[in-house]
Amino acid sequence: MSSVTTGRRAAGAGTRPPHRTAKRPAERAAGRGRGGAAEADAGPSLLHFGKLESPLTTYYLLLGVTTTLVVFGLIMVFSASSVEALLADEAFYTDFVRQLLFAVVGAAVAAWAARWPVRWWRRLAGVSLVGAVGLQAAVFVPALGVEVQGNLNWLDLGFIQIQPSEFAKIALVLTGAAIFANKGSLVGNGLHAILPYVLPISAVVLALVLGGNDLGTGLVMGLIVVAVLFVAGAPKRLFVVGGAGLVAGIIFLVTSSSNRTTRISNWLDPTCQTDPDGWCGQSVHGLYALADGGWWGVGLGGSKEKWKWLSEAHNDFIFAIIGEELGLPGTLLVLVLFGVLAWACYRLVTRTQDRFVRVASAGIMAWLIGQATINIGSVIGLFPVVGVPLPLVSAGGSSLVTTLLALGMLLSFARSEPGCRTLLAARPGVIKRTLSILPSRRPSRPTRRRNR
């Protein structure tokens, strides 16, 4: 009996349980090969979609789209404005250099804004509102306000002219996000949803903008207010009543102005839309530019409509020049880029747990995507011409700088996602990655073994 027990112990000491048996290197390699094959059979697309759930995805989407649109806009501003500058006896690069300076300033502002923590944006809401209302009210001062094409929406500071309504958009976003983040679930009460954001804050800002006859900017601000209320959780009956009031207000604004009434009636008149020399000449020439571009365009710089035929070719109607020179691929590129921007904003809205970040991201999304939709719709004849620029692409310093400031704010929100800031800090910068390929100055010394 002792010999049998001893034999069993010896056999147990020489072998391991099945679940603890170590695999040989060949078996491990084969297992990894089978696992890799299984993952490949499961579909490599799932792996690629899994990478999109990285904490860095939203940050790099925003950064990449912003950079691409700004560079693309600079190229198109240079192409669309060069001829008009020459015809005005100016250097052909005048508007391009001006836009480039604003792009540099806007990039610096965006880089600074991206470093700000979320709590500082909440503290900035009240200051931005007071400053925006003060600047917008200053346009009615005779010595400061400047009227451009019938709209009193510019402020002359001596060395530069700015459009205060662009800064008012940021104020509406920050103020709404701060108010509804503090209210919490009280937003479900209609009175709490209206006071004080809709009345009196939004009403005062919109009244100042519409008082200067800038209906296009007023429409964009209306989209911001609606998006902020919707994401904050305002009751649905408020949107029904507010929508009816908004339609009534637009009808009143249109009928109270002969210029707006004529513009709407001409937009609805088919004969006006076919007369290149009439009231609708700008819209007609914009459609001519898109038609001349066809599928592949006439080539960068080859536009004919920018030779004094199409007014505001480098500003409100730059999308028409894009279609004429770059054809369908150029216009689709713009649409895709704004679609990616909308998706990045949507990721911020749905992934964050911070109510302030959620509401502010929705407001900026409505601002940029809504303004781009109005601009493109005006060019293709879907909407009447209301005079709003294409964000990041059209010429205009105030619009470019404030838009980059808003996108810098979104970048700071993206950096606040769990794990994003840590991953960004762990990655080396562009300079370090570039220098890492160079040989080291100090040659490595061979190690010597000590004989013992």
Least confident stretch, 53-57, 120-124, 341-345, 370-374: 53-57
Could you count the other beta carbons within 10 Å of the beta carbon of residue 424?
Answer: 14
HSE-up of 87 (CA within 13 Å, CB side)? 9
pLDDT by residue (tens digit) across 103-139?
999 999 999 999 999 999 999 999 999 999 999 999 9
Query: What is the pTM for the complete model shown?
Result: 0.84
Among 198, 43, 109, 99, residue whose Cα is nearest residue 411: 109
pLDDT digits (tens, 9 = 90+) for 400-430: 999 999 999 999 999 988 778 777 888 766 5
- Name the residue ranges covered by the structural domains of the chain: 65-126+163-234+270-417
- Rounded-to-integer distance, Cα 183 and Cα 193, Å: 9
Q: Cα separation of 136 and 134, whole Å?
A: 6
Beta-strand pair 145-148/151-156: antiparallel
State whether residue 162 is helix, strand or coil: strand
Asked if 374 contacts 220 with a C-beta cutoff of 8 angstroms, the reply is yes
Which pLDDT score is estimated for 89?
Answer: 87
Alpha helices per DSSP H over 269-386? 281-293, 318-351, 355-379
The beta strand positions in 171-219, using DSSP E, are none
User: Taking a C-beta distance cutoff of 8 angstroms, is the pair 400, 104 a contact?
Assistant: no
DSSP 313: T
